[in-house]
Structure 1
Amino acid sequence: MTLTDLTVRKVVVATMYGKERAFGPVLAKRLGWDLVVPDGFDTDALGTFTGEVPRSGTIEETAIAKARLGAAETGLSLAIASEGAYGPHPHFPFLGAGLEIAVLLDTHTGRVIREHILDERPVYDHITYGSQTELDSFLDRIRFPQQTVILRNQGKTDKIFKGIQDRDSLGTALIALSKSSAGETILIQTDMPAHLNPRRMESLGLLAEKLADRLTCKCPACDAAGFGLTDTRKGLRCAGCGHPTRLAVGEIWSCTVCSHLSHQPRRDGLAEADPGQCERCNP
């Protein structure tokens, strides 16, 4: 079964952290797909958020590697996988952001359809342990215990307490870290696996919708599924001086089968850039 025909019913989702709960309902409703999760699947072998296993490639390469492993494990020809990266916002580095990428791999043809979403309000935060008041404020802010936390000595990965979701376990971890590494700073941070981070699971649900949108969009030239946004055209002109800026003036949609391209306008209808975003007006 290839991606020019979406009547396939069983598709593997390569996850060990419950991502089928985000992708499954959307793809069942939109495409009639039944997602299969491999038994005993270990995606941590490709990298962990806490750093014990470094990720060897980009998040897209890691997502594709997960999909290949999932397909090999189940024998199914179509495989979905996703990968996320969290850190400073690409345009506002004092804010956090999360990039989530999903791929659909057709093992018969090697074709990959990609989709992504940028979460500009992730639950991605940390504090160094100081006082109980500061800790309580942090836990309230991230909505603990629905959002779990990690405790570790800052800069070390040899002693980590993950998936903490109750006050007793939190206290036990604090005591253990204080005794084992006297005088070292204790770092408390949000846990990032999807099943322990409700905001991330919500983002994956939105990503599933975007992936379904792409899969139901056919190429106007060859009728293959997956036609959609792959790049942008820079050069939106400044409303003040008319100089081209680094902002996108439009979108480029393309097909991964026949390479057909289509130039599309910005979806938000913005026709001119604010002078504050112009390198000439605001160097």
Structure 2
Amino acid sequence: MHWKGRVAYLATLHRKEQVIGPLLAHHLGIQVQVIPLDTDQLGTFSRERPRPGDPIHTLRLKIERARQAHPASLVLASEGSFGPHPQIPWIPWNQEWVMLRVFEPGAEPLELVGYAESTQTNFSHRWVQSWAEALDFAQRAGFPQHALIALDRPEKPQVIHKGIQDEATLKQVVGELLARQGGLHLETDMRALYNPTRLQVIAAATQNLIAKAQSLCPACGTPGYWQIRSVSGLPCGQCGAPTPVAKAWVYGCARCSHTHTEPVAEPWADPAQCAFCNP
């Protein structure tokens, strides 16, 4: 098995190794050690710092900085994103990426990225004007197992209290901000060490990374032989016309040029996806 018995270094201060480490050890034989990198310098959920680019770009920056501190050959990083679901905008949506980059002498770095998404998230926020409203929000958010953040205002906040995990602290912070300005912005703390629900999605992204690492190119044996693009045109189950739904996936190697095309298991598309049956 590739990399069995080797150490991969994870750039984090947010205890993500608690879910990533056991999975990689069990399935790939990789031992995970932490490089204590302050990844908040590359963006925060509480908006003090914007993310410097898209998630993949940010993951590469995390790994680059980790290797500056510890020039290892296997380096990991994780990145998450929260917002409204693209098709159902009133439902919150969590996306997670876990990247492994492998640096071997004489070869270009090999990059594998695991991905998972879920609507099972407590991501939420509310403007509150009383202790009763604050407590109601906290209970709905899964407090105290899930921490909260209190801000004086949702945009460009000047006062930020993070990692609130007990009722006494919450009551004190809420009381101070209510006395000062009559209201405050509460939101869920989405950092992994304060959000066990998010950790489950990070675990799912790690499982996806493992599946890619275990999928070897039939031509050169490189890990990461995976879907690279879809081929649309699955026929409508009612009229048989081609639809935008994928009829096949093209698999490709992360290192050599080998590809193959594999049809999807479903023979027909839902007529709701057909431009003729559902114009």
TM-score (norm 1): 0.89
- CA 1:274 to 1:29, structure 2 compared with 1: closer, same or farther past 3 Å? same
Superposed displacement of residue 279, structure 1: 3.9
Equivalent-residue separation in structure 2 for 1:8 and 1:124 (angstroms): 37
Q: Is the 8 A contact 2:5 2:31 kept in 1?
A: no
Contact persistence 2:35–2:66 (CA under 8 A): yes
Residue 169 of structure 1 aligns with an amino acid whose one-letter code is T
Deviation at 1:107, TM superposition (A): 3.0
Tell me, in whole angstroms, the C-alpha distance in 1 between the residues paired with 2:273 and 2:89.
16
The 10-residue stretch of structure 1 (49-58 or 71-80) with the greater mean CA deviation from structure 2: 71-80
* Matched residue, 1:214: 212
Structure 2 counterpart of 1:106, which letter?
Answer: V
Answering whether residue 73 of structure 2 is matched by residue 77 of structure 1, we say yes
Q: How many residues matched?
A: 275
**1:197, CA displacement in angstroms?**
0.8
SS of the aligned residue for 1:84 comes to: strand
Q: Which amino acid aligns with 1:53?
A: R
Aligned counterpart, 1:90: 86
Structure 1: 5+ residue stretches without partners:
none
SS of equivalent residue, structure 1 residue 37: strand
Aligned-partner Cα distance in 2 for 1:55–1:215: 28
Q: Percent identity?
A: 33
Of stretches 122-131 and 48-57 in structure 1, the one that deviates more from structure 2 is 122-131
TM superposition shift of 1:51: 1.1
Q: Determine which of 9, 14, 18 is the counterpart of 1:17.
A: 14
Match of 2:175, SS state, is helix
**Contact 2:98–2:209 at 8 Å: present in 1 too?**
yes
Name the SS for the 1:121 alignment partner: coil
Q: Does 1:120 align with 2:116?
A: no
Deviations 1:48-71 (A, max 9, x none): 111111111100110111112222
Choose 130-139 or 194-203, whichever is displaced more.
130-139
8 Å contact kept, 1:86–1:98: yes
Displacement of 1:134 in angstroms is: 4.2
Residue 141 of structure 1 corresponds to which residue in structure 2? 140
SS of the residue aligned with 1:82? strand
Change beyond 3 A, Cα 1:244–1:124: farther
CA distance change for structure 1 residues 87 and 243 in 2, over 3 Å: closer, same or farther? Answer: farther
* Partner residue, 1:29: 26
Q: Which secondary structure does the structure 1 equivalent of 2:248 belong to? A: strand
CA distance in structure 1 between the aligned counterparts of 2:53 and 2:184, rounded to whole angstroms: 29
* CA distance in 2 between partners of 1:88 and 1:258 (Å): 37
Q: Which moved more, 1:48-57 or 1:256-265?
A: 256-265
Amino acid at match of 2:170: L
Q: Is the 8 A contact 2:3 2:29 kept in 1?
A: no
CA distance 1:78–1:275, change in 2 (3 Å): same
Whether the aligned pair in 2 keeps the contact of 1:233 and 1:250 (CA below 8 Å) is: yes
Separation in 1, partners of 2:179, 2:132: 21
Q: CA deviation at 1:27?
A: 0.6
Distance in 2, matches of 1:125 and 1:236, equals 38
Show structure 2 runs of 5+ residues with no match. Answer: none
* Structure 1 runs (4+) greater than 6 angstroms displaced: none
1:232 aligned counterpart, secondary structure: strand
Q: Does 1:61 pair with 2:61?
A: no
- More deviation in 228-237 or 168-177? 228-237
State the Cα distance separating 1:263 from its structure 2 match.
1.9
Question: What are the equivalent positions in structure 2 for 1:108-187 lying under 5 Å apart?
Answer: 108=104, 109-152=108-151, 153-180=153-180, 182-183=181-182, 185-187=183-185
C-alpha RMSD of matched pairs (Å) = 2.0
1:188-267 correspondence to structure 2 within 5 Å: 188-266=186-264
- Alignment partner for residue 47 of structure 1, among 43, 46, 53? 43
Q: Per-residue deviation at 1:163? A: 0.6
Matched residue of 2:96: which SS? strand
Distance 1:276 1:130 in 2: 45
CA–CA distance in 2 between the matches of 1:259 and 1:102? 24
Alignment check: 8 A CA contact 1:123 1:142 kept: yes
Cα distance 1:176–1:30, how it changes in 2: closer, same or farther (>3 A)? same
Deviation at 1:42, TM superposition (A): 0.7
Native 8 Å contact 1:68 1:105 kept in 2? no
Structure 1: which amino acid aligns with 2:84? P
